Amino acid sequence: MNNRLHILLVLPGVLLVVALLVAPLYFVFLDTIPDLEHPFSLYEAFLEKGFHQKIIIRTIRVALITTMICVILAYPCAFFIARYARRFKAVLIVIAVFPLLLSPVVRSFAWMAILGKNGFVNDLLLFFRIIQEPVQMLYTEGAVIVGLTYLFLPLMILPLVGVIENIEEDLLDSAKSLGAKDIIVFFQIILPLSASGLLVGCILVFTGSLTAYTTPRLLGGDQAMTLSTLIYQNAMTLFEWDAASVIAIIMITLTILVMKIIGSLATRMNPDV
């Protein structure tokens, strides 16, 4: 088939994305620079407030911690699923995929019930007399991190399983037979060879946590706001559309930055990625 026909077939889709995504985003960007003589005046006004700075820093910190926890939890898990699980492999993958397809509202609500004043964790701690009265766990940064880790852990496990499966058994065996300790095998062989999966997982988890809305709203509330709850508040409650536009551009910039940084880190770990 000729090129013109191919172009004709993708055209409706391209137009749709341009009309509903590219153009509106471009206009949002234009909204943030109303005055060309002082192009950054709106950004300066937004960033001046300590409250806003705090939220930006908190959003990045929460995403960073969530990603690190996910890496630590996912590696052993993915290694086990890919190498040793055998007939349990399918079951373990199904259990990891299942929460991924479930509504984030349900998954965050579960943690509201667990971390609440009369929740499971407080009940347990009271029962064992570790605490005397219920502790406030909901509407804290910690609650948001737990909720986000729960939300995104499968997104770290699954790509890692995919790449660890492809590492040749002989490679690990020969390293071990030459006397390499487990920890050396991990850092010298498994880590570099699974870098591509780690990269995908980190990008998904980091950008996901940076931009998640439901979880910070339900588990963080007004006390532990992130950029996504802040943009909603500015746009829909305060009707501060200039501020909302600034936040939108900051969020997109952060997302792209994170993808670039993680991408270059992965190339350094394994130049073949």
> 75-114: which residues touch another protein (CB under 8 A)?
76-77, 79-81, 84, 90, 92-107, 109-114
**For residue 67, which of 148, 159, 162 has the smallest C-alpha distance?**
148
Q: How far is the CB of 40 from another protein (least distance, A)?
A: 19
Site for another protein in 45-74 (CB under 8 A): 73-74
Contact stretch for another protein (CB under 8 A) within 34-42, 48-56, 126-134, 150-158:
150-158
Distance CA 273, CA 269 (A): 9
Question: DSSP character for 38?
Answer: S
Examine residue 159 and tell whether it contacts another protein (CB under 8 A). yes
Which region, judged by CB under 8 A, interacts with another protein, from 27-35, 36-44, 126-134, 187-195? 27-35
Min separation Cβ 150 and another protein, Å: 7
Return the number of the residue (4 or 37) whose C-beta is nearest another protein: 4
Q: Contact between 182 and another protein (CB under 8 A)?
A: yes
**Is 45 or 105 the residue whose CB approaches another protein more closely?**
105
Q: Which is nearer to another protein, 22 or 265 (CB)?
A: 22
Of 36 and 236, CB closest to another protein = 236
For the chain, what is the radius of gyration of the CA atoms?
Answer: 23
Q: Cα–Cα distance between 226 and 110 in angstroms, integer?
A: 20
Q: Considering only 25-33, 45-53, 128-136, 263-271, which stretch makes contact with another protein by CB under 8 A?
A: 25-33
In the chain the first and final C-alpha atoms are separated, in Å, by: 33
Q: Which of 229, 234, 194 is nearest to 212 (CA)?
A: 229
Give the nearest distance from C-beta 167 to another protein in angstroms: 14
Question: Is 126 a binder of another protein (CB under 8 A)?
Answer: no
Q: Which C-beta is closer to another protein: that of 37 or that of 222?
A: 222
Q: At closest approach, how far in Å is the CB of 266 from another protein?
A: 13
Contact between 171 and 25 (Cβ < 8 Å): no
CA-CA distance, 185 to 187, in Å (whole number)?
6
Q: Which two tokens stand for residue 42?
A: 């709106």
The answer to whether residues 31 and 43 touch, using CB atoms and an 8 Å cutoff, is no
- Shortest Å distance, C-beta 60 to another protein: 14
- Per CB under 8 A, the segment of 9-17, 38-46, 47-55, 262-270 that binds another protein is 9-17
150/111 Cα distance (integer angstroms) = 9
Q: Which is nearer to another protein, 51 or 84 (CB)?
A: 84
Minimum CB distance to another protein smaller for 144 or for 210:
210
| Alpha-carbon gap, residue 273 to 167, rounded angstroms | 14
Q: Is the Cβ–Cβ distance between 227 and 59 less than 8 Å?
A: yes
CB 97 within 8 A of CB 158: yes
